[in-house]
């Protein structure tokens, strides 16, 4: 039986000019994941990342704290890319497509992060409803198909192949779990909202079958007894 681990990236730089960049806390979360693996006597046997910086940075920081294959052997697979958050938001609220307009809208709230989350949740609901698929470069069904097609070859590795660690995002992980557990479209992002930065999900596979072993473990952060390390964006 083979094993695939899906790792959500560390905390990104919300509110900055470049979201696709780990925050200092995101770097720390990633480092703690690597230290936890090292303490458990584990290694990153095979690494797959997406094309975005926050995934490469998470994998690099984690691997620096534990045994890992040389970076030249890592594989990048755009099939695990996250959906286009900006487009999903723009189609829902085109009046807030400019950063200045969005910043001004959020500043009117006492809690900009919560206000953005509410806005983003509504935008995602529109996207996943399937009623406006033609409005997007990639529909929700297209996104689900892309991610699961990227996973399939990993689950066809021969017996005895190295464990594969995929560093990706919450939407991609949710799409995989949705496929495995037959979760309805309108419920899928209930999973996404609870995915912790650097949380680990484990899949087991054998010919013709992929199974969920565990979901969103955060033991590497919980053991430190520092609540501020547990983040969701």
User: Rounded to whole angstroms, how far apart are CA atoms 145 and 79?
Assistant: 9
Map residue 168 onto helix, strand or coil.
strand
Does position 15 have pLDDT exceeding 70, yes or no? no
The confidence score (pLDDT) of residue 223 equals: 96
Res 17 pLDDT > 60: no
pLDDT bucket at 99, cuts 50 / 70 / 90: confident
**Does residue 119 register a pLDDT over 90?**
yes
Query: Cα–Cα distance between 209 and 93 in angstroms, integer?
Result: 40
Averaged pLDDT for residues 205-218: 94
Ranges 44-48, 131-135, 166-170, 190-194: which has the least confidence: 190-194
pTM to 2 decimals? Answer: 0.92
Residue 12 has a pLDDT of 86
Question: Which has the higher per-residue pLDDT, 207 or 171?
Answer: 171
- Counted residue by residue, the chain has a size of 233
Q: Which domains, from first to last, does the chain contain?
A: 2-81+138-229 (3.40.50.1240), 84-137 (no CATH)
Task: Give which of 109, 91, 102, 122 is closest to 19, Cα–Cα.
Answer: 102
Give the CA distances from residue 128 to residues 66, 93, 113, in Å, rounded to whole numbers and listed in that order. 38, 16, 22
Residue 160: per-residue pLDDT = 74
């Amino acid at each position: 039986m083979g094993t695939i681990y899906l790792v959500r990236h560390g905390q990104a730089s919300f509110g900055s000019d470049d979201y696709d960049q780990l925050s200092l806390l995101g770097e720390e979360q990633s480092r703690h994941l690597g230290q936890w693996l090292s303490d458990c006597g584990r290694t990153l046997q095979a690494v797959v990342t997406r094309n975005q910086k926050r995934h490469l940075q998470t994998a690099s920081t984690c691997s620096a704290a534990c045994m890992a294959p040389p970076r030249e052997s890592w594989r990048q697979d755009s099939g695990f890319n996250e959906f286009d958050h900006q487009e999903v938001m723009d189609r829902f609220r085109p009046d807030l497509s400019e950063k200045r307009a969005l910043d001004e809208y959020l500043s009117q709230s006492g809690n900009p992060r919560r206000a953005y989350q509410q806005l983003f949740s509504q935008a995602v609901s529109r996207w996943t409803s399937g009623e406006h698929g033609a409005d997007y470069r990639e529909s929700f069904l297209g996104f689900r198909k892309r991610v699961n097609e990227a996973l399939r070859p990993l689950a066809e590795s021969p017996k005895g192949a190295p464990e594969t660690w995929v560093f990706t995002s919450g939407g991609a992980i949710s799409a995989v779990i949705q496929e495995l557990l037959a979760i309805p479209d309108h419920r899928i992002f209930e999973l996404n909202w609870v995915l912790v930065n650097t949380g680990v999900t484990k899949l087991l596979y054998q010919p013709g079958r992929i199974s969920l072993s565990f979901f969103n473990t955060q033991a590497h952060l919980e053991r430190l007894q520092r609540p501020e390390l547990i983040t969701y964006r």
